[in-house]
């Protein structure tokens, strides 16, 4: 399973803090996982299509072609605004 997390307005708009996704052929990259999640719901598709969306794989900011394997933690969130 891939542990997917959402933060800030991404979490708020999607309506959940996270989901578990079965690892498969379509989830082998961050982009693949994003597309798989987007296909499940119109609202999710809209939120996950944002060109400002960031992805972290195992708690490290990553690129969209970063490989994803079973057991990974993948987080989607907007640009950070702390400090």
Partner 1 sequence: MIRVQTQDFNVPEEYHLISQDNSDGAVVTFVGKVRDFNDGSAVTDLTLEHYPGMTEAVLNQIEAEARERWPLNNVTIIHRVGAMALGEQIVFIGVTSAHRKAAFAACEFLIDFLKTKAPFWKLEAGDKGSNWVEARDADEQAAKMWDK
Task: Report in angstroms how near the CB of residue 24 gets to partner 1 at its nearest.
Answer: 25
C-beta of 26 vs 43, nearer to partner 1: 43
HSE-CB of 31 using CA atoms within 13 angstroms: 5
Task: Report in angstroms how near the CB of residue 10 gets to partner 1 at its nearest.
Answer: 9
Our CA dihedral for 62, 66, 70, 71, rounded to 10 degrees, sits at -20
51 is an interface residue for partner 1 by CB under 8 A: no
Tell me how crowded residue 52 is: count the other CB atoms within 10 A of its CB.
Answer: 8
Tokens of 60: 């490290």
Length of the chain: 83
75 is an interface residue for partner 1 by CB under 8 A: yes
Taking CB under 8 A as the binding criterion, the range among 25-33, 34-42, 43-51, 70-78 that sits at the site for partner 1 is 70-78
Task: Report in angstroms how near the CB of residue 42 gets to partner 1 at its nearest.
Answer: 21
C-beta of 1 vs 39, nearer to partner 1: 1
* Residue 48 CA, distance from chain mean position: 8
């Amino acid at each position: 399973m891939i542990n997917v997390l959402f933060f800030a307005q991404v979490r708020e708009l999607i309506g959940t803090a996270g989901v578990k996704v079965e690892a498969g052929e379509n989830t082998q990259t961050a982009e693949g996982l994003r597309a798989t999640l987007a296909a499940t719901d119109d609202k999710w598709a809209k939120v996950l299509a944002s060109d400002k969306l960031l992805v972290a794989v195992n708690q490290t900011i990553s690129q969209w072609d970063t490989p994803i394997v079973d057991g990974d933690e993948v987080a989607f969130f907007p640009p950070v605004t702390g400090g």
